Amino acid sequence: MLLPSILRTVVPMVAGWVIVALSGLGLSVDSQTLGVAIAFAVAAAYYVLFRVVERLVERFGGPAWVKATAGLLLGYAKPPRYKATDDVTDLIRQSRR
């Protein structure tokens, strides 16, 4: 479930940047726009790095403090848990927990 977690964070950031960049109806890229793009890229890389660390520690049984530290650096010590299902109602219920 690592890929959905990453996608749910990175895709909205990229989509938000694209929408803002294109909303001016011009495709000019000035230094401020480039700075925002770089900030989003760094934020996405930061997130991916610490989610991968969490996942590797979880999968290969590394030290619990590494997983906890990676989680805290993401804002919440426990990684998200999703139960596999195709039932939309169940997915909505899970998202509200």
The more confident residue out of 95 and 45 is: 45
pLDDT at 63: 93
Could you give the CA distance from residue 90 to residue 28 in angstroms, rounded to a whole number? Answer: 44
Rounded Cα gap, residues 42 and 76, in angstroms: 19
Q: Look at residue 28 in the predicted model and tell me its pLDDT.
A: 65
Check residues 50 and 7 and name the one with the higher pLDDT.
Answer: 50
Residue 65 has pLDDT above 90, yes or no: yes
| Kind and range of the H or E run holding 91 | helix 88-95
Residue 70: C-alpha distances to residues 23, 25, 79, 90 (Å): 36, 40, 9, 29
Q: How far apart are CA 92 and CA 97, in angstroms?
A: 9
**pTM for this prediction:** 0.63
The chain-wide mean pLDDT, for the chain, equals 78
